[in-house]
Amino acid sequence: PDATGPMIVHRLDMATSGLLLVAKTKEVHQHLQAQFENRSIKKRYIALLDGCITEKVRATEVISTTGKVGRIELPLCLNPLDRPRQIVSREHGKEAITEYRIISESEKHIRITFYPLTGRTHQLRVHAAHPQGLHCPILGDELYGRKAERLYLHAEYLAFTHPITSEKIEIHAEVPFCPTSE
């Protein structure tokens, strides 16, 4: 009842489902935002990609004990001629880094885990779809791919330090699309 909020700490793209962190007070909001800025908050997203990853991209993947993993570093900025789309620009873009792990593959889709290390607008969507990224858009992405019944991108996990108790907090949100939807 004494909240100076609620105040949203970060954002999700409009069609993305999943976890959104909200602070009750201005002080907690500032503390949590600082954790996002210094990249101490851990985020994990699950997505279904529409298609298969090209062999060129496969050459950069590493096989680990947990699956095929990789890293995408493509700087992003707003496309001034086609808002709200973002573009890759080495000259004007801001640093955008995404690590990923492939969970499973079929002939039509790839189930993937994204670990964004930065938080740029449409970062995961562009990194998935762009030819210098995975070259395989997220299923249902109307801006960078093709329309489906939904955007198959879900913010599944957040880990952060509680601003008051200093306790490590881990939150999970069940993925609303199952592997059988592939």
Sign of the CA dihedral with 82 first, then 148, 93, and 56 last: negative
- Which residue, among 152, 15, 144, has the nearest Cα to 85 in the 3D structure? 144
Cα dihedral sign, 145-151-153-155: positive
50 noted as active-site residue? no
- Angle at alpha carbon of residue 130, lines to 101 and 98, rounded to 5°: 35
The answer for residues whose C-beta is within 8 angstroms of residue 119's C-beta and 6 or more apart is 10, 36, 43
Which residue in 13, 50, 82, 141 is the catalytic one? 13
Which backbone phi and psi does 69 adopt, to 5 degrees?
-125, 160
Question: Residue 64: beta bridge partners?
Answer: 67
Active site residues: 13
